[in-house]
Structure 1
């Protein structure tokens, strides 16, 4: 990949990204993708100290995470269509700058209320990074190739939550919770410099849509009329919500209920995430052999069974081992389901990749923002609330996905039975 930004008038094709170029692209988008998980999780070890210093309750402290998730979700709805109009680079660079400024504001916040507001705006700025990274994937690739790249990015989202609390703990040994936000600001600035230098514009002017809110609403209307796209978005959001619910609830379950020390919790958390990391990386092999659609169905079913195992573990009191085995399988299923659902959804709307990515990402973060406080609100001193939320999310994903696949097969069978002259020009792929 070129060391300088390509001119915005140059058409950047995915065909150029092979070998080392593809690796460089993965690393670049991976750095950008890591900002979201790092922003969410790095300050988690500092929550108790933060709550004491700002005289805030645990519930109020958790609202700083909820505000961030809502900002990430709602911001994408605006930035997505905007990136379809002005290109990918400008929203990305402005978003990174805004993220850095809001991180500094978080560091100097004198009250929990100000911190919640700053975190929410930080999420709005970070939304640009999330939606643009996804849109760039769709600008360059489709189908199995897109699933392959998204699987690599899932590795980043899988590793980042593992490393983030450890990074936060290490930083707390050197500084306070304010210092963590200063580090996040520095990471955002560094990412902005990398994007300016190394990221080409992947959406040339000829493919951009007019910068008119009416056109943006029309683009969303097209998406909302696409039943299969909406199902893929819902499936991706529900599986992401299961992952986020686990990330937010696991400290309370593993430490508060099963009595793990912070260091042991870090080890168990890392072991559990191995499933997501490993299966996200072998997902492209599954997709090439069986198709992304079939792999997605299988992964969601495995997720349902794993969540059901967690429920059984909580009800029957099977102990820590049963919990770890079940959550390992669930995270492995998320590592396979998430990139395939996203690739299938985005493959249908290449002409509005930013808008399609925005609705997908917004649904994921909003669903994650809803499930995170539910874990705490339903807490009863057992692992059952977390297990129940995970089962509900995965079961709902399966309930939406499997009938949709049956409907598609019936459509394909009907088309095969029609005379060639009567066949539609194209049919939606699930």
Structure 2
């Protein structure tokens, strides 16, 4: 069992890691309220504007897959500091772009840089605290991941209304500078040289291959990614379903979205408490079952007689389950890959955003289309969990 690094100020460290975790999901959708103005100013159609978001997600996946494994050999701070500095610089660059292709390229690079904070926050957490405490801390990060996508469009709407879409990227640049300062002061190197793996790209990517060869790790990672796919389908389709389908105003839709996000927060918070009494694989199985049953109920009521109340309730149940899956699966995968925390964090984080990017375009604009895709994603997540065989104790055992 790998030792952990002594932490002098755990509260400060957790606060900074929370900031590092929040910035990437904020950067995904803060500028969405400015899409119409952005398209007019850059003479770009809707597909080109949407491509700028997809480019960021692709960069986020690619960056995690490179930065996470490399940090196992080079250390965390050596990549975290330049990564956060690059995010601040590239955010400012996005604010200055004059054409849609340049913005798409800038967003891809911005996503690569944002990946540093996202992937290394989980790795630092794994390095720094005993495994028995990880469920509590990962539940905090999961709550942040649940809140950030809700706050993003709300904050972005205020900024766009006051100063235009470019101001969103200036704000992100300022957040990047704050993140850089906080990291410099509050995040010590958590992986001393004695615990690092041999450097270089080949061993780094080799460590990911070793992890993927571990059946339990792969199963839990796929479960996490597929559950994230269901959440991204909801995010992509819910505005059409509730505003166009059920006739809600933007304010009323905001309330629905906030309540459903609250369900995710409750699940994430409850996970930290429940993990003290219930084995992690059993807890993950329970959350995944709740999410799958919610998606099944959503599909049944969509086929029979979809209603506003029924759709809202089924989605709240599904998202409650997903909110528990995130910290549970993350804790387990980081425990299995404790000796390769960077590579483990890269694979689980990349899976979540990769499946999200793949599933979101399939979300459709009706409750029926949304329900069927969410159900398919959750059923595949259940099958992936069977691959992990959560009833076997080996699922939680790490290896060197």
Following superposition, the deviation at residue 404 of structure 1 comes to 3.5
Other-structure match for 1:308: 296
Other-structure match for 2:84: 96
Other-structure match for 1:272: 260
Q: Secondary structure of the equivalent of 1:174?
A: helix
- The alignment's TM-score, normalised by the length of structure 2, stands at 0.94
Q: Give the alignment partner of residue 244 of structure 1, picking from 226, 232, 236.
A: 232
Q: Give the alignment partner of residue 374 of structure 2, picking from 390, 394, 397.
A: 390
**Following the alignment from structure 2 to structure 1, what is the Cα–Cα distance between the partners of residues 352 and 282?**
22
When structure 1 is superposed on structure 2, of 345-354 and 57-66 the one drifting more is 57-66
Do the aligned residues in 2 keep the contact of 1:143 with 1:344 (CA within 8 Å)? no
Other-structure match for 1:8: none
**Following the alignment from structure 2 to structure 1, what is the Cα–Cα distance between the partners of residues 297 and 52?**
31
- The alignment's TM-score, normalised by the length of structure 1, stands at 0.88
Following superposition, the deviation at residue 142 of structure 1 comes to 5.0
Other-structure match for 1:30: 18
Counting only pairs closer than 5 Å after superposition, residues 67-216 of structure 1 correspond to structure 2 as: 67-216=55-204
Larger Rg: 1
Cα shift readout 1:363-422 (whole Å, capped 9, x = no counterpart)? 1111111112222xxx3x52222212211111111112135436x54xx6xxxxxxxxxx
Q: Secondary structure of the equivalent of 2:43?
A: coil
Cα shift readout 1:147-199 (whole Å, capped 9, x = no counterpart)? 21110011111111111111111112210001111111111111111110111
Q: Secondary structure of the equivalent of 2:133?
A: helix
CA separation of 1:202 and 1:366: change in aligned 2, threshold 3 A = same
Number of corresponding residues: 395
Other-structure match for 2:396: 429
Do the aligned residues in 2 keep the contact of 1:297 with 1:402 (CA within 8 Å)? no
Do the aligned residues in 2 keep the contact of 1:102 with 1:118 (CA within 8 Å)? yes
Q: Give the alignment partner of residue 344 of structure 1, picking from 328, 332, 342.
A: 332
Following superposition, the deviation at residue 233 of structure 1 comes to 0.7
Q: Give the alignment partner of residue 320 of structure 1, picking from 308, 321, 328.
A: 308
**Following the alignment from structure 1 to structure 2, what is the Cα–Cα distance between the partners of residues 261 and 89?**
46
Q: Please, which runs of 5 or more residues in structure 2 have no aligned partner?
A: none
Do the aligned residues in 2 keep the contact of 1:234 with 1:363 (CA within 8 Å)? yes
CA separation of 1:403 and 1:108: change in aligned 2, threshold 3 A = closer
**Following the alignment from structure 2 to structure 1, what is the Cα–Cα distance between the partners of residues 71 and 123?**
9
User: Over aligned residues, Cα RMSD in angstroms?
Assistant: 1.8
**Following the alignment from structure 2 to structure 1, what is the Cα–Cα distance between the partners of residues 342 and 4?**
16
CA separation of 1:144 and 1:301: change in aligned 2, threshold 3 A = farther
Q: Give the alignment partner of residue 400 of structure 1, picking from 353, 373, 384.
A: 384
Q: Give the alignment partner of residue 47 of structure 1, picking from 35, 38, 56.
A: 35
Cα shift readout 1:248-281 (whole Å, capped 9, x = no counterpart)? 2222222222222222221111111110011101
Do the aligned residues in 1 keep the contact of 2:219 with 2:387 (CA within 8 Å)? no
Q: Please, which runs of 5 or more residues in structure 1 have no aligned partner?
A: 1-10, 413-426
